[in-house]
């Protein structure tokens, strides 16, 4: 046990030392506004160089990924229908689908499924 504790302490010390050295030797300076401002051929930019990110698009993407994973879980449930006990299969499948419907109802109730606000 003492060897494990010593190894943990050494690992933490070495990693903290490496972080400190990296921060000390870092050549970036966030204090200079001219260096971090956008540059267009020597002129001030006419428009914002960064496109604003739509949080609604992000939410729709997350909802899609969640339901995509759920479909990947539903396929094996269908495949094991023939080799499992019918009562257990029905209870597990019903419970899983009820959880999916409850999640869909919650998202619908929060107006996450509307494309326009």
Question: Across-strand partners of 40?
Answer: 43
C-alpha to C-alpha distance for 105 and 40, rounded to whole angstroms: 48
* Domain ranges for the chain: 2-36, 55-109
Q: What is the pLDDT of residue 48?
A: 64
Q: What is the pLDDT of residue 35?
A: 65
Residue 81 in contact with residue 89, Cβ under 8 Å?
yes
pTM assigned to the model: 0.46
C-alpha to C-alpha distance for 5 and 12, rounded to whole angstroms: 11
The tens place of each residue's pLDDT in the chain, 117 residues long, gives 688 899 999 999 999 999 999 888 876 655 666 666 666 566 666 666 666 777 777 777 888 888 788 888 888 888 887 888 889 888 988 998 898 888 888 888 887 777 665
């Amino acid at each position: 046990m003492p060897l494990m504790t010593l190894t943990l302490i050494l690992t933490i010390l070495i990693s903290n030392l490496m972080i400190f050295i990296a921060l000390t030797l870092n050549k970036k300076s966030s204090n200079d506004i001219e260096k971090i401002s956008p540059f267009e051929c020597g002129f001030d930019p006419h428009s914002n160089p960064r496109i604003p990110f739509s949080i609604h698009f992000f939410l729709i993407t997350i909802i899609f990924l969640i339901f995509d994973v759920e479909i990947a879980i539903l396929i094996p449930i269908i495949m094991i229908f023939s080799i499992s006990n019918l009562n257990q299969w029905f209870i597990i499948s019903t419970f899983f689908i009820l959880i999916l419907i409850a999640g869909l109802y919650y998202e619908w109730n929060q107006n996450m499924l509307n494309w326009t606000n």
